[in-house]
A and B are shown apart, each in its own frame.
Chain A
């Protein structure tokens, strides 16, 4: 992947005219570190030699002496307090409205994701961001991995000193802007054998959400019906403003939510009635696997979810943002910073000893699954093999849902371009069960429930397209 990334990077530098003939070393060495940080955890990182890269960049890059370079030098010399270790650090800090695609730390992730998408790697954006937060991908204190020559100080700090975790939407949107900016061609096709195809992702998420495998038939049906499994829909075509950008992970989660609504209604009444009904049928059920009972599933999953959520909240409160290598703005406050650092370390030791618990020395390996359920557990806490027969009925030889109703999340979609969302999610306006299901996937993907809600609305409107435009204003509950 390094090559892909470096190609992207070079292209970016060309396009944004940031390659200066006098000191290209600064830029390319930065590129090198970005490459190193993007390597997939499972494979061995290939490290292209520094010289190789340097020579490449010098020959390919559009190395004009930009007039802005000269002006930036003069600006630096005017304000002696402005001090940065890199050539263009001061340029970066000056607010420039025209240049929206200035390099930032979240942008490095956009680059990474773009490369991963190009290669159709089995990793979603939400997973990538989760790995970043869990520390498997250097981000927080990435300057620790810089070579000795690159000293970070002054205004560079603002760029490299990360004070917040990247947000899905931000990275996602920037990636698309970047793809358009670089005039990239159509990305490699996402077919139904790709990991990012909704059918595949649904399978994964169903497993992780401890839902029966049989639901996969239903998700595939929904995907097929609304055409979101088509190659043209899924593949990224940069610069094409008419197609909606696909969030593969959120989309798959939303499909599952819609399927749950189809089968269980999720209006805080029906799903429990259905569950009781399934429980009754289960008592007489001797053949095959047990019928799926919503109530049991809810109890098991809620318990695990609460535990994991609590752990996550505590982890978030206990993040250590700084590292051993302190940063300082200038040589002047170096000693002060070092003294502070020393005091912080002392206090950490003193109170750490009193905390009574041993902090994990080793970080656990990155895992694709956050919740896992094993069929071998005898306590019946795994629902993968459960049958949906409890909620289905036979009609004309086909199994259809017993639930005849459906409620739309919203009758009218908002204009995404104006207000940024398709719908506005407020917990109090929706049933608790719906909120729970959103919450489950919100936890797994580490995004706000409203993002999933948006996708759910989009899917529903595609699914019930015909009926919506026929029906009059009163109905929010439709008969299938």
Chain B
């Protein structure tokens, strides 16, 4: 007969672990500690083949408990982390790094810096090569803390220069931090990954010292190198940099193009559309229409008056010129089934009118053109607007009525 119900070491510890998990989920730190104290003897049998072995489990669980437990001190926490570092050499740098994060969360920047420096000097045979990635991260974070120190010095310097002092020692310290920071930050961003915070700091440094070419190179690499994971922020940073540099609309537009592809609902789409609308090139204007329609597909933009005003402006312009009505028709084709309920219901008409008259006016124009003057939204809003004797609504009504044929062409 099988003895699957037999209680043995492994099952006992598995049960113990599930009690720990429950306690953690319910934030019962004392109870979790009680069971963890019973679990730790798993270390003496640490050759399990599970995905996460006992030593890693103890490290992670213990960290959580000590971090949140009311009676646990930072001193105890640090002591525990030091023990964990000795437990698994394959995890040494990871543990160091996470310890540093906790120190930073606790505001202990100096201790964090010390730990990072200590970890940087760690060598352990072939493990050093295996844990190369963690080492790069450690160097990068030290670079980040150097940037932070640089930033502090820079502020002191600016203050002093305002007061008319010139402080050579501060300046020299500042340059020193810059050099240290730049070296490490440049290293980490060579590796494909998401390094937003490092990139921002590096670009800040480079811009301060006037090295715009290198900054541009860094940002281009970060945004366009296919080895790096698709990251909307990379394009945002590039765009912001180019704007600061006063680059031409052409380069600004090309910077935002990929952002539109990856995140059509990004808040910069308004800027993007605005630039595109004004372009002399037909293709760009066409793209602009596409961009603004795409943005308004997202629920988060439903009440965004600025977005609606962009769309309204462009629609108005197209309708007035009577050229490229087919553009609107194309965009509307895939949306005519669901936009009416999504944006132009009677309920929304009422609500928009009550909450935001601007919004309702812009939307009404769009609705009037896309759905005709008899649609619910337009009728309600324009009626309310004229009743309230607001000039813009009278003009709105006139415009839509006059251009009703355009609607007919779009819908037909």
Residue B76 is within 8 A (CB to CB) of chain A in the complex = yes
Residue B37 is within 8 A (CB to CB) of chain A in the complex = yes
- Which B residues between 1 and 33 are near A, CB-CB below 8 angstroms? 1, 3, 5-10, 12, 15-16, 18-19, 29-31, 33
A347 touching B7, Cβ below 8 Å: no
B62 touching A321, Cβ below 8 Å: no
A351 touching B43, Cβ below 8 Å: no
B76 touching A316, Cβ below 8 Å: no
Identify the stretch in A25-33, A91-99, A142-150, A159-167 within 8 Å (CB) of chain B at 4 or more residues: A159-167
Identify the stretch in B64-72, B119-127, B135-143 within 8 Å (CB) of chain A at 4 or more residues: B64-72
Identify the stretch in A46-54, A253-261, A337-345 within 8 Å (CB) of chain B at 4 or more residues: A337-345
Residue B35 is within 8 A (CB to CB) of chain A in the complex = yes
A354 touching B43, Cβ below 8 Å: no
Alpha-carbon gap, A444 to B18, bound state (A): 25
A420 touching B72, Cβ below 8 Å: no
Residue A397 is within 8 A (CB to CB) of chain B in the complex = no
Residue A313 is within 8 A (CB to CB) of chain B in the complex = yes
Measured between C-beta atoms, what is the minimum distance from B109 to chain A in Å?
A: 26
**A318-B38, A448-B5 known; A351 and B19 CB under 8 Å?**
no
Residue B254 is within 8 A (CB to CB) of chain A in the complex = no
B44 touching A354, Cβ below 8 Å: no
**A314-B19, A322-B44, A347-B62 known; A164 and B6 CB under 8 Å?**
yes
Measured between C-beta atoms, what is the minimum distance from B13 to chain A in Å?
A: 8
**A317-B15, A354-B71 known; A165 and B30 CB under 8 Å?**
no
**A164-B7, A313-B15 known; A320 and B34 CB under 8 Å?**
no
Q: Chain B, 80-96, contact with A by CB distance < 8 Å: what is the 0/1 string? A: 10010011000000000
- Which A residues between 322 and 359 are near B, CB-CB below 8 angstroms? 322, 326, 337, 340-341, 343-344, 346-348, 350-352, 354-357
Choice from A170, A337, A344 contacting B41 with Cβ under 8 Å: A344
**A319-B38, A337-B44 known; A355 and B6 CB under 8 Å?**
no
A357 touching B34, Cβ below 8 Å: yes
B12 touching A347, Cβ below 8 Å: no
**A313-B15, A356-B30 known; A163 and B65 CB under 8 Å?**
no
Interface size on A, residues (CB 8 A): 34
Chain B residues within 8 Å of A421, by CB: 1
A320 touching B41, Cβ below 8 Å: yes
Chain B residues within 8 Å of A313, by CB: 15
Q: Chain A, 341-384, contact with B by CB distance < 8 Å: what is the 0/1 string? A: 10110111011101111000000000000000000000000000
Alpha-carbon gap, A169 to B5, bound state (A): 12
B71 touching A322, Cβ below 8 Å: no
B38 touching A320, Cβ below 8 Å: yes
Choice from A320, A351, A420 contacting B1 with Cβ under 8 Å: A420
Alpha-carbon gap, A343 to B84, bound state (A): 10
**A317-B19, A420-B1, A421-B1 known; A351 and B12 CB under 8 Å?**
no
Which A residue's beta carbon lies closest to that of B58?
A347
Alpha-carbon gap, A420 to B19, bound state (A): 34
Choice from A165, A318, A420, A448 contacting B35 with Cβ under 8 Å: A318
Alpha-carbon gap, A445 to B110, bound state (A): 60
B34 touching A355, Cβ below 8 Å: yes
Residue B319 is within 8 A (CB to CB) of chain A in the complex = no
Choice from A344, A352, A354 contacting B72 with Cβ under 8 Å: A354
Residue B156 is within 8 A (CB to CB) of chain A in the complex = no
Alpha-carbon gap, A351 to B37, bound state (A): 5
Chain B residues within 8 Å of A320, by CB: 38, 41
Alpha-carbon gap, A320 to B9, bound state (A): 9
Which A residue's beta carbon lies closest to that of B1?
A420
Which B residue's beta carbon lies closest to that of A345?
B40
B44 touching A318, Cβ below 8 Å: no
Residue B36 is within 8 A (CB to CB) of chain A in the complex = yes
Chain B residues within 8 Å of A340, by CB: 43-44
Chain A residues within 8 Å of B34, by CB: 318, 351-352, 355-357
Most buried by A among B1, B10, B37, B76: B37
Alpha-carbon gap, A336 to B331, bound state (A): 72
Which A residue's beta carbon lies closest to that of B70?
A354
Alpha-carbon gap, A195 to B109, bound state (A): 72
Alpha-carbon gap, A236 to B161, bound state (A): 103
B8 touching A343, Cβ below 8 Å: no
Chain B residues within 8 Å of A356, by CB: 30, 33-34
Chain A residues within 8 Å of B10, by CB: 163
A350 touching B1, Cβ below 8 Å: no
**A164-B6, A317-B38, A319-B12 known; A355 and B83 CB under 8 Å?**
no
A351 touching B36, Cβ below 8 Å: yes
Measured between C-beta atoms, what is the minimum distance from B303 to chain A in Å?
A: 50
**A344-B43, A354-B71, A355-B30 known; A317 and B7 CB under 8 Å?**
no
Q: Top 5 closest A-B pairs, CB basis?
A: A164-B8, A355-B34, A356-B30, A354-B33, A317-B15
Residues of A at the B interface (CB closer than 8 Å) are 163-165, 167, 169-170, 313-314, 316-322, 326, 337, 340-341, 343-344, 346-348, 350-352, 354-357, 420-421, 448
Residues of B at the A interface (CB closer than 8 Å) are 1, 3, 5-10, 12, 15-16, 18-19, 29-31, 33-38, 40-41, 43-44, 58, 62, 65-66, 69, 71-72, 76, 79-80, 83, 86-87
14 pairs, CB–CB < 8 Å, chain A vs chain B:
A165-B6, A318-B35, A322-B44, A340-B43, A341-B44, A343-B86, A343-B87, A347-B37, A350-B79, A352-B34, A354-B65, A354-B69, A354-B72, A355-B31
